Amino acid sequence: MRSLPALLLLLAAGFFARPAFAYPFMIGHGYTGCAQCHTDPSGGSALTEYGRAQAEIFMRSAYAPSKGDPGRIKDFAFGVPLPKELQLQGDVRGLLYPRPTDAAATEWTVRTLLMQADLRAHVKLGGLRAYGSVGYVSEGADLAWITSNTSGGNVVSREYWVGYDVMKGLLVRGGRLALPYGIRSEEHLLYARSATRTTTNDDQQLGLDAVYGRGKFRAELMGIAGNFQIGPDDYRERGYSALFAYAPMNTLEVGVSSLFTTTALDYEALLPRDRQAHGVFARYAPLEKVRFLAEGHVTVSSLDGEAGLVGSVGYLQVDTEPVQGLHVKGTGEWCETDHADDLDPAGRGTATVQWFFAPHMDVRLDAMYGPLYCTPGVEPGPAATAQLHLFL
């Protein structure tokens, strides 16, 4: 078997589709929970009116002294009036990345890709709530397809649910939901997200869920019924996912997560598979403009009744904001699928600049060195991407 020396990692653009934007660095502003700014109490999904105000007040770069209330520019489509029961949001995200035009990588081009074009809606009538999203991808997000075009773009629906606020701080809902596990963020290529299948790209599942947030605590428990946008039923995972978090102060949150699923036919291994992940996470902002995010998890994968392969995955990220709206981040990650094998763990370092330069807009540059996914033993290589995001 010949080995293929690595020249460069070619990044398949479709896998950068990031449908939800959740910013755990908001802990720097004392937000240990997510429900004030997001219609999903665990983050991501559409923003609330309050979240839109915060995005305008202190997430984006300020070019003039603040006038206080941000005004209508924060609203849907820069000021379209909506009933207070309804939140609408559109997200468009484009990607630039270099790719070779020939197999020998002697010639290169810069490719552009529409990663995301989603419309999301949240309705709240008394204690009743409903949420849904629909969008389009030109590649990837296979697990969220509505249409079934295997050679091109597809309509996708990543999340849809109906829920009820049972009491203060407790929402019970059913539908297709993002799995509650670890720190929810827009960075779905983090090993901690892809290796545990808890990305917000297309790893949502159908299920029943209870999410609680009050005071210093937040927690979520989801019973997983499976992804009914793939078939047949053999391929659907069943199980649970849960997290519990405590904020001893409003600049520190620590938590634990647990996940278990079983399937008759895993879509990657094509074998029966039990999959587990259990771990811890933390967010800490020693200074308002310096935040640390960290996760560490043990993973167990049992294929076809065999003894489980025990691995681990995690990362440490530091996010600094030298001037308002401009984020400079560094991330170090590791991933090991089986500690008993001889392969070195996958490791990756990423440097990121993300600039919220205008209302409803941000641009992001990433430079990374390491395998794209959790593939221990693979020779690392460099890669870079640029993204532009607009939300309405």
Partner 1 sequence: MTSALRSVFASVILFTPSAALAGLKVDSTIAAPKITFHANGEPGALDIDAVTNECTAADDGTTLTFTVPLGKLQTGIELRDEHMKDKFLLVGTYPNATLSFAKSNIAWPTELGKSAKGKLEAQFTAHGVTKPVSVTYDVSKTKQGYKATASFGYDISQHGIDVPSYLGVTVDAKQEAKAVIYLIDAP
Partner 2 sequence: MSLLLAVNAAFALSNFPGLVQDELAMDCAPSCMLCHTTPAGGAGTATQSFADALAAEGFSVADTATLATALAAVQSKGTTYDGNGDGVNDVDELAVGENPNADGTDFCPADGDAPPTLTRGCFAEGGDTAAAGLGLGLAAAALRRARRR
Smallest separation, CB 111 to partner 2 (Å): 9
Locate tokens 């010949």: which residue? 2
Smallest separation, CB 376 to partner 2 (Å): 9
| Amino acid (one-letter) located at 102 | D
Q: Using CB distances below 5 to 8 A depending on partner kind, what does residue 150 bind out of partner 2, partner 1, none? A: partner 2
Q: Using CB distances below 5 to 8 A depending on partner kind, what does residue 104 bind out of partner 1, partner 2, none? A: partner 2
Using CB under 8 A as the criterion, which residues of the chain lie in contact with partner 1 when the complex forms? 29-30, 32-36, 41, 48-50, 53, 57-58, 66, 68-69, 168-169, 213-218, 245, 247, 249-250, 288
| Cβ nearer to partner 1, comparing 53 with 361 | 53
SS3 181: coil
Cβ contact 263:273 at 8 Å: yes
Kindly list the distances between the CA atom of residue 291 and the CA atoms of 68, 286, 297, in Å, as whole numbers in the listed order.
25, 7, 20
| Cβ nearer to partner 2, comparing 183 with 383 | 383
Rounded Cα distance, 131 and 171, in Å:
13
| Structure tokens given for 389 | 């995001």
| Amino acid (one-letter) located at 267 | Y
Strand partners, 323: 326
Locate tokens 């660095």: which residue? 25
| Cβ nearer to partner 1, comparing 247 with 293 | 247
Smallest separation, CB 280 to partner 2 (Å): 24
Residue-level length of the chain: 392
Rounded Cα distance, 203 and 360, in Å:
26
Smallest separation, CB 171 to partner 1 (Å): 9
| Cβ nearer to partner 1, comparing 6 with 287 | 287
Smallest separation, CB 118 to partner 2 (Å): 16
Rounded Cα distance, 68 and 256, in Å:
38
| Cβ nearer to partner 2, comparing 65 with 151 | 151
Q: Using CB distances below 5 to 8 A depending on partner kind, what does residue 90 bind out of partner 1, partner 2, none? A: none
Could you tell me which of 347, 342, 385, 338 has the C-alpha nearest to residue 366? 385
144 φ/ψ angles, rounded to the nearest 5 degrees: -115, 10
Q: Using CB distances below 5 to 8 A depending on partner kind, what does residue 109 bind out of partner 1, partner 2, none? A: none
Q: Using CB distances below 5 to 8 A depending on partner kind, what does residue 66 bind out of partner 1, partner 2, none? A: partner 1
Smallest separation, CB 289 to partner 1 (Å): 11
| Cβ nearer to partner 2, comparing 207 with 213 | 207
Q: Using CB distances below 5 to 8 A depending on partner kind, what does residue 72 bind out of partner 2, partner 1, none? A: none
Locate tokens 């794209």: which residue? 372
Q: Using CB distances below 5 to 8 A depending on partner kind, what does residue 379 bind out of partner 2, partner 1, none? A: partner 2
Rounded Cα distance, 343 and 313, in Å:
15
Smallest separation, CB 57 to partner 1 (Å): 6
Could you tell me which of 188, 237, 241 has the C-alpha nearest to residue 211? 241
| Cβ nearer to partner 2, comparing 25 with 131 | 131
